[in-house]
Structure 1
Amino acid sequence: MNALNELSQLSYALDTFYFLICGALVMWMAAGFSMLEAGLVRSKNTAEILTKNIALFAIACTMYLVVGYAIMYSSDAGGVLPRLGMLIGAENSLDTILAGGDDAPYYAQRADFFFQVVFVATAMSIVSGAVAERMKLWAFLAFTVIMTGLIYPVSGYWTWGGGWLNKLGYFDYAGSGIVHLAGASAALAGVLVLGPRKGKYSKDGAIFAIPGANLPLATLGMFILWMGWLGFNGGSELKISDVVSANNVAQVFSNTNAAAAGGVIAALLLAKLWFRKTDLTMVLNGAIAGLVSITADPLSPTVLGATLIGAVGGVLVIVAIVTLDKLQLDDPVGAISAHGVVGIWGVLAVPLFNADANVSSQLVGILAISGWVFSASLIVWLALKAIMGIRVSEEEEYSGVDLAECGLEAYPEFSSSRK
């Protein structure tokens, strides 16, 4: 075998391995979302939200395998309507690799599937926290089937699958819009249909805080997300086996970390100035906002530029959380603000440092992704409400959805229901 073929095989192996490791880091984010959400809900709802997170991950993996991946990647370039398909096809790259041609693939298709499927689960995890503490478990899981098998793959085809938004010039390196805004749009539709938790708002418009039960757990979740995000953004370079790609990965890692730090610092300062207190929950969302902000383009900015982009996200998330509360849109974990409002900022920030992107294409992408996901999700939520109901009873909400939906409690030794 000649040296060219040997080099091609080595590059293929290295890039595939890197892709898989980054996918594993993104999978670790599922634990981060689980811990963050479990810490920000009341103790009587902890077991149910953990059940939702592990179940949604399994459903997302299965639905994306069965139909989602084929919808997202098996259609014509530049199109609007993807073709329906099933499964992910055979791995037929070996002969091309051995030939060493310019068209040789640089990673295994199965690695691409694994990396993409954990992104789908991430989008669905955003919905979980926003509808926490009052939604029926099985209604949520039914929505998960449609979201991960159809809704997300359609807009994914428009963008990463080579569809019309990609042809238009929409730029979204790792998914501020494609993943995070999509998840937040589905969450917003669910919150509108579901309504707020009992006792959150009074008839005269007063807002009552409902504190989470375990802030150390929420903080652990945030740090897990921060770490996993390095794979989320770093893996989106797609390869690492040449000097340019390796340098790009290093830049992406540095910018991702810097943006998160900028989000935290901005949230710290604004919370102190606005509330006269350093609210930990706002700081946690500041970190996530910084990460979401830079995800649309973690490569082009300088490290200082990434820090500033993240800082703007840290400010926006606090303003958005307060504004949604005033509108009586009850989001227990701030998911719509951190992933939706800040996701829009991340997409719009791309042209600031990337000459290949333009504001008009980015705006069209924002409207198309949010419009499609919100509209389709709203239809599904309303259908589920009519067919099976999506909200637990007042008595079940008061007692906690752990007992109503799971028949057990996360912290039974502290339960007032035990005699």
Structure 2
Amino acid sequence: MKGRPSLKRPLIVYPLLVQFVILLASFAILIAIAIRLDSGGPYTDERIIPIFANAVERDAEGGLVVATTPELADLRVETPDLWFVAEDDSGESVTFGTVPDHYASLEGRLSDISYAQLRDRAAPYNLAAAIRRETTEIGPLTILGHGALSELSFVLLFATNTAILPIFLVLTLTSLIFIPWIVRRSLAGVTRIAQEAEEIDAESRGRRLSEAHVPSEIAPLVRAMNDALRRLDEGYERQKRFIASASHELRTPIAVLSSKVEATQNEAIRSLAPDVQRLATMTEQLLDLHRLDTNRDDTSVDLAALARRVVADLAPLVIARECSIELEILGSTTCIGDAAALERVLMNLVQNALDHGGHNVIVRVIRAGFEVEDDGPGIPPEERERVFEPFHRLRPRASGSGLGLNLVRQVVDLHAGEVEILDASAGGTVVRVTLSPR
């Protein structure tokens, strides 16, 4: 739901942001330290060394000479004070430009050096030079040269980027991939118990949420939920026992009262017979609800045969009310269920049709279910769900108990079926029950 805090943000997003900031700060600090440690002034760009090496050739006697190549000429234009010394392994050397006297002592010994970066302390930095050993077509050469100057900070920045940036990217990608994976794996137990909780309903009593794979921080909440479910189960059992006991205790005095009402000659007392019958019906329906939870017996049920029995049993009641009942077998099938409970469902639907103004009732067996159609005043669309609520009556002064359709809904739900109310084609109501075929 919108506006509800999520654990993913503090567990994934915030740590990633903190790591990103730490990496950036570490990156900046390393660069600053490197620049600070190497603040010795400008240096000679060593990329000029290969140009110097390519400009050195051998003359006819085998001595070293400098040929002004286009690349060397361009460098000379850019840096007028360009100079270098090239020396082979035999000590033969050649110079180009004005070589500072400071390096005169190195002539004849350059071949002993393979790498050096020389920098002087003050402008104009004429002594800044680089020593590199190059392999050329005329053999290995050691070159001491001076050219265009560059600030070392740029090189340090480039080198630091080259060395640290891949590490930075690897750490970032690792965090982006592994932190969400670790968090999802850690919260897998929470997802599992959420799925278990969604499967718990009023009919799945006795179930508890699993505590096996739940993080220790969530375990107290799971235990509290299990304790709450246990208390609900205990309360439901107490309520169920109370209803069963009350219904059993009421049957005897209601039966005695009914017999006395039928035996009396007092018309005022005999007028109580419908109310006594209503009490008897309500008691039986409460016992039916109790039996659904305790004594369900699922077998193969022939819906056509079940409908014939119900119509035969109710025919005298229908005739006594000067009504008619008709049975249509449109698609006989069998299903797995409690035959007694399904018989009570069909009986309640027929009685409900008769109680609410239906004079002509049609019981229709359809594939994987049955329906009852009447020609009464019908049920408004806005009331078609509420009539299944316990003790709800479409008309407040109706004689029904208000439990008949509620019993129908509960039985159908226990059989994994559906019950719906439709308009009859010629007026009235159709209540259709669809069950799962065998």
What range is the shorter-chain TM-score in?
under 0.3
Q: TM-score, normalised by structure 1?
A: 0.22
Bigger proportion of residues as helix? 1
Bigger proportion of residues as strand? 2
Look at both structures and tell me which one has the larger radius of gyration over its CA atoms: 2
Q: TM-score, normalised by structure 2?
A: 0.22
Higher relative contact order (CA 8 A, sep 6+): 1
